[in-house]
Amino acid sequence: MSFELAVWHEPEPITAERAAEVLRALREGDTRAVRPHPGVTEFTAAFPEAVSFGDSPAYALLTVDLERSDEVAGEAFALARECGLVCYDPQRGLVHNLAPLGAYPGMQLRTGDGMIVVDPDLRLVGDAVATMSPQNPFTALVVFGEHFVQSSPEITGYELEYKDSARDVMVRTHVPEIGAVREAFVEYAEGGRSFLERHDWRRV
């Protein structure tokens, strides 16, 4: 089995649904779906596994063995950003936009199925939360040495945890809906803590 990522340039952030439409059009040979961009050439030069298309390439596909996907994907996400490209992960149905970013440089998004993204965009933060499942049993946003928020599915909803490392305080709550988890994660990424006031927490 193999793991695939697609990269191309977008002038504005796009939804995962739009990214899926673009990739579908590209697979069908409709290169009008995207415009040529020099970042595609930079990207393919750095990844021997990546293949670009056309004399003035507008997109590239990166395909690797599944067992190497976690290792390679993190490098690909970072390089795509450096090259000014969005990166679409069709396996997870997630798109990595260039902006807007969160409040904490170096913040990491980590998931239970092995995805690690440094400086995730805010749309990706919200979308990644919705991918939790038995195969992807947690999502976390981590600012190492300072604080983190994480969540995992439960039978009747979701466990939500927050830790402030500087104060050595960790709290936990249960929320019934994924929307509450998504809201907490995006608020945290933006530097807010309103989610701490909306739920009843217990010390861990």
pLDDT tens digits for 154-195?
999 999 999 999 999 999 999 999 999 999 999 999 999 999
Sign, Cα dihedral of 113, 92, 66, 4: negative
In Å, how far are 85, 96, 117, 157 from 193, measured between CA atoms?
31, 24, 22, 21
**Length of the chain in residues, anyone?**
204
**pLDDT of 25 higher than 80:** yes
Average pLDDT over residues 5-18: 96
Average pLDDT over residues 144-154: 97
- Please classify residue 108 by burial: count the beta carbons closer than 10 Å to its beta carbon, then call 0-12 exposed, 13-18 middle and 19+ buried: middle
pLDDT for position 56: 84
The SS3 of residue 111 is strand
pLDDT for position 192: 97
Taking only the tens place, the pLDDT of each residue in 41-56 is: 999 999 888 999 878 8
Label residue 69 by pLDDT band (50, 70, 90).
Answer: confident
Rounded CA separation 120/55 (Å): 31
> For the chain, which domains are there?
1-95 (3.30.70), 99-204 (no CATH)
